[in-house]
DNA sequence: GCCAACGTTGGC
DNA sequence: GCCAACGTTGGC
């Protein structure tokens, strides 16, 4: 059992969208490292931190779970899709994705709070220059984050 | 196989 | 809208 952090722009798919749909195909990943994580390292039942990115309040917004094996991303063959990849051969699809199912919405664990937490300093997400949309989370980081999610939000000062 | 140019990501 | 960081592309 592994743990992952997956970024999603809430304008495209927020934690509320996932809650409503129950399950979504994680289409549109066009980065080889992120694809390889899904293809080689993901397993059904893995824990997912659902992260809101490119929005007014970036941070962890909920928990989800991997609920399928990796399979070809249909959007790569759709000329009308923004994720269309004309260089991908249908006989040998370049891009894959998994499906992810809703577990629960949490309070927003905002990026500054993550950065302020010493035990999370090693998180891949927080490393300088990180842009990967899918990053591994260690069991220790997962536990620490669950603890923070259950605690009250820090009071503003 | 090098590497400069270009595109994308994503926080601020 | 800026910009730093990084990945990808393509000429050589």
At A18-69, the pLDDT tens digits run: 999 999 999 999 999 999 999 999 999 999 999 999 999 999 999 999 999 9
Question: Smallest CA–C1' separation from A127: which nucleotide?
Answer: C5
At A125-147, the pLDDT tens digits run: 999 888 999 999 999 999 999 99
For residue A151, what are the contacts with CB-CB under 8 A and spacing of at least 6? none
Question: Smallest CA–C1' separation from A112: which nucleotide?
Answer: B11
Which domains occur in chain A, in start order? 3-139 (3.10.590.10)
Q: Is the CB of A128 under 7 A from strand C?
A: yes
Backbone angles phi, psi at A36, to 5 degrees: -65, -35
Whole-number Å distance, CA A131 to C1' B8?
A: 10
């Amino acid at each position: 059992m592994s743990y992952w952090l997956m970024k999603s722009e809430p304008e495209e798919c927020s934690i509320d969208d996932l809650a409503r749909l129950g399950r979504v195909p994680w289409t549109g990943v066009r980065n080889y490292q992120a694809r390889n994580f899904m293809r080689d390292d993901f397993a059904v039942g893995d824990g997912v931190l659902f992260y809101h990115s490119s929005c007014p309040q970036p941070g962890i917004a909920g928990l989800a779970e991997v609920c399928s094996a990796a399979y070809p991303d249909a959007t790569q063959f759709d000329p009308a899709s923004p994720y269309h990849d004309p260089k991908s051969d249908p006989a040998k699809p370049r891009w894959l994705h998994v499906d992810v199912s809703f577990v629960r919405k949490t309070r927003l664990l905002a990026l500054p709070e993550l950065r302020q937490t010493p035990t999370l300093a090693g998180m891949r997400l927080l490393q300088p220059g990180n842009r990967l949309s899918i990053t591994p989370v260690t069991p220790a980081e997962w536990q620490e984050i669950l603890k923070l999610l259950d605690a009250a939000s820090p009071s503003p000062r």
